[in-house]
Amino acid sequence: MKQAKTETVVMNSKNILSVLAAVLVILATGAKAQQSLGDIVKEYGFDWIIGKWVGQTDEGNKIHVIYNWQCDKHLVTINLKWPDYEHRGMIFYVPSKNEVVQIGVDNEGSTCQGTWDVDGDKACLRIEQTRPDGQTRKMAIVYSKVDARTMKTEVYGVDEAGKLTNEPRGTLEYQRKAVKGEKKAADKSRDTSRKKHKTKGAV
């Protein structure tokens, strides 16, 4: 009798493990089939924004911002720096709301959250910033591609109804810059090409 009970326990354990394995496979399959942020960005043609950009204000201060893919293109991280100011942010897709969301925090303790929309060949980020003292500020930043190496941003005010002001409060152009890893890879490729050329010439 004891042996029979032991066998029953073993069988039940195997059945539970089989069910759990099946559930995990189903969940994994569903997750893989789910649309990612990378799919959306590619579909609307905004993958050009990924990379490192440098802009300069009218006062001569340089702004550095890097957009990087993470988590198999389900997430974009943002690293923004300019004199005495730093901001870290994340952009991701929320399937249940069908929204592309951005959240962030800066070195002054302010937080922000917003959503992205597409307007033709421009991407619009509507965002609300909350300062440490509780005061809030709404704005919209419109991103557009000038050429392969230039990005333009326009900052608009947003009223209570969510409507943008007629004219931007500020405009800034950014130039694309090579990330350190990309520059090293490019230099290595050029060095290899030169060595091949020299070898052929020697022959």
Q: Which range of residues forms the domain containing residue 28?
A: 1-33
Rg (CA), the chain: 25
Confidence of residue 34 (pLDDT cuts 50, 70, 90): confident
Instruction: Give percent of the chain above pLDDT 70.
Output: 72
The pTM score is 0.74
Question: What SS3 string covers 51-91?
Answer: EEEEEECCCCCEEEEEEEEECCCCEEEEEEEECCEEEEEEE
For residue 156, which of 133, 130, 110, 122 has the smallest C-alpha distance? Answer: 122
Q: Residue 32 pLDDT > 70, yes or no?
A: no
Per-residue pLDDT of 125-170, as tens digits, reads 999 999 999 999 999 999 999 999 999 999 999 988 889 999 999 9
Residue 192 in domain: no
Residues 143, 51 within the same domain:
yes
Residue keyed to tokens 């557009």? 144
Per-residue pLDDT of 36-51, as tens digits, reads 999 999 999 999 999 9
Residues 27, 82 within the same domain:
no
Residue 146 in domain: yes
Residues 52, 27 within the same domain:
no
Count of domains for the chain = 2
